Amino acid sequence: MKNLKKIDPQIYELVKREEKRQHDVLEMIASENYTSQAVMETLGSVLTNKYSEGFPGKRYYQGNEIADAVEALAQERAKKLFGVPYVNVQPLSGSPANSAVYFAVLQNGEKIMGLSLAMGGHITHGHKLGLSGRFFTSVHYELGKGDVLDYDAIEKMALKEKPQILICGYTAYPRKINFKRFGEIADKVGCYLMADVSHITGLIIAGEHLSPVPYAHIVTTTTHKTLRGPRGAMIMVTEKGLKKNPDLPKKLETAIIPGLQGGPHDNQTAAIAVALQEAGSAKFKTYGKQIVKNAAVLAQELMKYGFDLVSGGTDNHLLLIDLRGKNVNGRIAAIALEKAGIVLNYNGVPGDMMPPLYASGIRLGTPAITTRGMKEKEMKKIASWYDRAIREVEGMSLPSDDKIKRAVLMKAYTVQIEKNNNLKALAKEVKSLCAKFPLP
């Protein structure tokens, strides 16, 4: 990065610091991963300079012969990997992709039905503070006994509410999803089934999770989580979707432009194509299997230390831990763990009485550390470190109903964590392990 260093030494220094931070810590945010060098090279290519408003063969600007070929290649690779007849690779990220689906098939005020945010759903699945909750009517199903999906209850609710779109696929659900059952429910209601598989796309490709393609009408996904590509998204229409509405592709394209955005980011489109090429390899399938193996071992080890895992474990890449039994707030735990070199996010858990900024749980995942080459042996070590870090902050709980007291305690706890020498020592151990597993 010699040119960056010369032109803007401040940004150069920040980039190098971020590179070091990523190298020295265990990146366990379930929605993050490390792209390959090839993906990053593509993102920084001359494709950054082009403006390609429209779609292949139907652009509003000249000079798009190469951009057309890039986008068509990305589309074909996705079609092949997922077995779908139509793919749109232009959404700038996951939220815009979901919004495009709603604008394509719904009228203002029509109904969306998805899992509640508090139970592991996503803000774009009808939450009142998001665009989907403001422009459309939304109702939410919840998890059943054991904090798992109750398909009978979902069916009963769907038949009563009669949504135009039923959504499955989540942001904090550690179990496999029965897409076939969801498809049957949607068919009974006569609505669209949208599967948002942003978190599990890579696992589907690797054969570690069932595919929604035979059962859903529309599939949305980001490209930067288990798929290990650039930040971006895709919308796919299945054969079942085309049968229900042959105009879905055209409606989606109109929703993208002029509905939600102008020209796509061609460098991002090309980088998605690279990631899809990588995902079609046998090596990627091995990677996907290891993600799940690592998560399972990590879950088993954490439960040995007395941690309460939502649903009692995991079937995929992520774990959701309820820390109320440890008498420590999730946000406090996340700060302490980061001090110890373990980066993850605090997260709401079923039945959580705390506001979102002070959620009672922790969400963590194995995609990024698996990319670095870590396996079961390292998961056992990480679980022991996690336990050591949490023991340093046990008793640091926060009140749910007293904002002033909560703010005072939060400030005091943060100061204590910053001064904690045991957490600093743990961070050195983490750094030592990370040195053995370099970034891609």
The residue annotated as part of the active site, out of 12, 51, 151, 305, is: 51
Spatial separation of the C-alpha atoms in residues 298 and 377, rounded to whole Å: 10
Which two three-digit tokens encode residue 128? 């009142």
The residue annotated as part of the active site, out of 231, 285, 289, 380, is: 231
The residue annotated as part of the active site, out of 27, 196, 253, 392, is: 196
Tell me whether residue 358 is one of the annotated catalytic residues. Answer: no
The residue annotated as part of the active site, out of 53, 142, 150, 239, is: 53
Tell me whether residue 196 is one of the annotated catalytic residues. Answer: yes
- 9-24 vs 421-434: helix crossing angle, rounded to 10: 90
Instruction: Give the E-state strand segments of 340-385 in sequence order.
Output: 342-343, 345-347, 361-365
Measured CA distances, 350 to 147, 199, 337, 399, 402 (Å): 7, 19, 22, 18, 21
Residue type, 199: H
Which two three-digit tokens encode residue 294? 């690592």
Spatial separation of the C-alpha atoms in residues 100 and 310, rounded to whole Å: 32
The residue annotated as part of the active site, out of 221, 222, 226, 238, is: 222
Contact 190, 167 (CB under 8 A): no
Spatial separation of the C-alpha atoms in residues 277 and 39, rounded to whole Å: 10
Tell me whether residue 338 is one of the annotated catalytic residues. Answer: no
Tell me whether residue 152 is one of the annotated catalytic residues. Answer: no
125 HSE (CA, 13 A, CB side): 28
Spatial separation of the C-alpha atoms in residues 27 and 329, rounded to whole Å: 21
Residue type, 308: D
What is the rounded end-to-end Cα distance, in angstroms, of the chain? Answer: 17
Spatial separation of the C-alpha atoms in residues 368 and 34, rounded to whole Å: 6
Tell me whether residue 65 is one of the annotated catalytic residues. Answer: no
DSSP 59: E
Q: Give the SS3 label for residue 318.
A: strand
Tell me whether residue 8 is one of the annotated catalytic residues. Answer: no
The residue annotated as part of the active site, out of 225, 244, 372, 406, is: 225
Q: Which residues are annotated as catalytic?
A: 51, 53, 196, 222, 225, 231
